[in-house]
């Protein structure tokens, strides 16, 4: 009367088909020994999400096929176990695909690819389902790679009285009414949705609400299987969950960590009830911190970097990046360098030393004064009679970039840049200077969020690396690039609360100038800010990749031309 289902909420790596297959095999064996008879893996688990243009390589799809076949072979002896494996496929994988594509030659069929799932049992593929609804917005490009499926997939999991007819959907399918409705009409008693849905703040609740809508429309209980881990600029937070047939929450897996989420499906007469454990909800800032930590850890870990190095200035941005890096990697894998200039205030290096001491990371000081003087002397003839301006400021930033990259080259650690979203938006940063590095940790955090998150971290110690790591003065002093005497950020930018409010409306929510002005903002300030966003596109194109944590970042979901005369 009971079917135990296990969701393999695991951290899969793009392109590591042998490693991902082994994860699935190990998970299946452990789940089977614990009584599970249905193992569910997330969307495209066999190859990781998203493989981008690797999907266009026939050899990549073939390697995925080989890996799925290996999973089937190695689990063949587990009698009664059904395994759902997310994988790309080619050819006809769904009923009615021919109708979608018309008459097809063999060569045309090979060219068609599907975002699909294989259903395995005792060494055989008993069903294949191709995703019907392909997202093509924000960070998604699925129509570039895949052909929509036209079929449905309903199969039986479990044996005897415990058997349940399972309807399979893939991610975006469940955001539309028709796939779930057709699946129910085909006899499904339980919806299982496999997913790869990138994190942004608030996304977890959005998913649960949308799936509750799907449950209400169909009257079917639902299990939502999600992956976890960082992949370049995107993070997947896990948080798989289950909903009862009345749309109430039956259980939820923890976020930002691997988990074998178990759900027990019980049948009482015609009704199905799900029993599972529920991880408590966490606040937005806690999830935001976890997303950034996971993004750093996986970017370095999956790409083989032995550690990280960053310029520690005594300012708020580098302080936050340091705290994140230590939580992600441990103090022994993080190195900091303070590079004072003629304009560095004493309190900057005092606070930088203090923070490095609190977190027990390596800290070095390398003055840029000799190099700065040498540059000015070499250019004295060219600059004769001209006042100092941003040219000399940028020289200082570029000297620091050279030092950090030299240390990176010599010792192999990746340089973590410390620029935030407000700076990226307005170009308040230096190409080949503070933008020089390999990974932009807080690239998607507005400055006001940087301050808020710094205070959150000082009040919490989620990874046990030390409480209150950021000296209070770093948070309370006016921010400054310290590239000229008595400089503050507000010499060049509006107050950050005003700036960030405008950027949220203009950049993240696509509001135009007139709309923003109508909301009460000064027209001159709005026009200045939006102009800065437009003219600095060329800088952002040359910035390192960074972690996406909002619904719109300066990454895959921001694709504006550098050359354009359009004014919003």
What is the pTM for the complete model shown? 0.94
Tokens matching residue 448 = 């006001």
Exposed, middle or buried: residue 180 (CB in 10 Å: 0-12, 13-18, 19+)? buried
User: Which residue, chain included where needed, has tokens 């790409």?
Assistant: 303
In terms of Cβ atoms closer than 10 Å to its own Cβ (0-12, 13-18, 19+), residue 383 is middle
Cβ atoms of residues 246 and 16 within 8 Å: no
What tokens were used for 306? 């032995």
pLDDT given at position 484: 85
Q: What ranges make up the beta strands (E) of 232-293?
A: 234-237, 241-243, 249-252, 259-268, 271-275
Question: Minimal CA–CA distance to 341: which of 316, 377, 365, 307?
Answer: 365
Cβ of 96: how many Cβ atoms within 10 Å? 12
| Token digits of residue 286 | 């806690």
State the pLDDT at residue 186.
97
Note the pLDDT of residue 92. Answer: 54
Q: Which residue numbers are catalytic? A: 43, 131, 171
Q: Strands 249-252, 154-157: parallel, antiparallel or unpaired by DSSP?
A: unpaired
Query: What is residue 374's three-state secondary structure?
Result: helix
pLDDT in tens, the chain (568 residues): 699 999 999 999 999 999 999 999 999 999 999 999 999 999 999 999 989 999 999 999 999 999 999 999 999 999 999 999 999 999 754 433 333 333 333 443 446 899 999 999 999 999 999 999 999 988 899 999 999 999 999 999 998 888 999 999 999 999 999 999 999 999 999 999 999 999 999 999 999 999 999 999 999 999 999 999 999 999 999 999 999 999 999 999 999 999 999 999 998 777 899 999 999 999 999 999 999 999 999 999 999 999 999 999 999 999 999 999 999 999 999 999 999 999 999 999 999 999 999 999 999 999 999 999 999 999 999 999 999 999 999 999 999 999 999 999 999 999 999 999 999 999 999 999 999 999 999 999 999 999 999 999 999 999 999 999 999 999 999 988 878 888 888 888 899 999 999 999 999 999 999 999 999 999 999 999 999 999 999 999 999 999 999 999 999 899 999 999 998 7
| Cα 550 to Cα 34, 288, 370, 511, 558, distances in angstroms | 38, 9, 41, 16, 12
Tokens of residue 431, six digits: 């190409």
> According to DSSP H, which parts of 152-218 are helical?
177-185, 203-218
């Amino acid at each position: 009367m009971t079917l135990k289902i296990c969701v393999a909420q695991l951290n899969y790596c793009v392109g590591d088909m042998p490693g991902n297959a082994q994860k699935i095999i190990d998970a299946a064996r452990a789940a089977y020994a614990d009584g599970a008879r249905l193992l569910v893996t997330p969307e495209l688990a066999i190859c990781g999400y998203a493989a981008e243009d690797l999907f266009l390589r026939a050899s990549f799809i073939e390697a995925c096929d080989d890996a799925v076949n290996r999973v089937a072979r190695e689990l063949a002896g587990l009698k009664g176990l059904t395994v759902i494996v997310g994988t790309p496929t080619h050819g006809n994988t769904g009923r009615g695909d021919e109708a979608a594509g018309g008459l097809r030659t063999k060569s045309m069929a090979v060219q068609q690819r599907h975002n699909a799932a294989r259903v395995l049992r005792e060494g055989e593929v008993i069903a294949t389902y191709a995703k019907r609804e392909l997202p093509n917005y924000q960070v998604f490009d699925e129509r570039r790679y895949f052909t929509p499926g036209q079929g449905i997939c309903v199969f039986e999991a479990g044996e005897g009285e415990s058997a349940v007819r399972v309807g399979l959907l893939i991610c975006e399918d469940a955001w539309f009414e028709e796939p779930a409705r057709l699946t129910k009409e085909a006899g499904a008693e339980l919806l299982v949705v496999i997913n790869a849905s990138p994190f942004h703040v608030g996304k977890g609740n959005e998913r649960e609400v949308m799936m509750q809508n799907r449950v209400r429309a169909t009257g079917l209980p639902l299990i939502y299987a999600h992956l976890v881990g960082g992949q370049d600029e995107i993070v997947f937070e896990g948080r798989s969950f289950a909903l009862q047939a009345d749309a109430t929450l039956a259980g939820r897996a923890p976020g930002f960590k691997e988990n074998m989420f178990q759900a027990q499906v019980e049948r009482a007469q015609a009704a199905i009830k799900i029993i599972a454990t529920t991880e408590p909800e966490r606040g937005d800032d806690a999830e935001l911190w976890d997303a950034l930590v996971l993004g750093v850890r996986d970017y370095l870990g999956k790409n083989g970097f032995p550690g990280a190095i960053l310029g520690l200035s005594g300012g708020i941005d580098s302080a936050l990046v340091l705290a994140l890096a230590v939580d992600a990697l441990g103090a022994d894998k993080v190195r900091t360098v303070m590079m004072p200039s003629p304009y560095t205030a004493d309190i900057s290096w005092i606070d930088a030393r203090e923070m490095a001491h609190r977190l027990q990371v390596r800290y070095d000081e390398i003055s840029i004064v000799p190099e700065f003087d040498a540059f000015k002397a070499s250019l004295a003839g060219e600059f004769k009679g001209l006042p100092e301006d941003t040219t000399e400021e940028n020289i200082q930033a570029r000297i620091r970039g050279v030092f950090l990259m030299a240390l990176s080259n010599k010792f192999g650690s990746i340089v973590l840049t410390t620029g935030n979203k407000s700076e990226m938006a307005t170009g308040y940063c230096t190409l080949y200077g503070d933008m020089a590095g390999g990974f932009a940790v807080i690239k998607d955090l507005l400055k006001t969020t940087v301050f808020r998150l710094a205070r959150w971290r000082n009040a919490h110690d989620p990874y046990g690396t030390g409480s209150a790591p950021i000296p209070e003065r770093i948070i309370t002093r006016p921010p400054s690039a310290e590239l000229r005497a008595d400089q503050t950020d507000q010499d060049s930018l509006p107050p950050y609360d005003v700036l960030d409010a405008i950027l949220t409306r203009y950049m993240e929510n696509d509001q135009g100038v007139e709309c923003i002005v109508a909301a009460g903002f000064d027209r001159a300030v709005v026009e200045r800010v939006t102009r800065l966003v437009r003219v600095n596109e060329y800088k952002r194109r040359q910035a390192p990749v960074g972690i996406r944590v909002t619904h719109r970042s300066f990454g895959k979901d921001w694709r504006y031309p550098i050359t354009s005369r359009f004014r919003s």
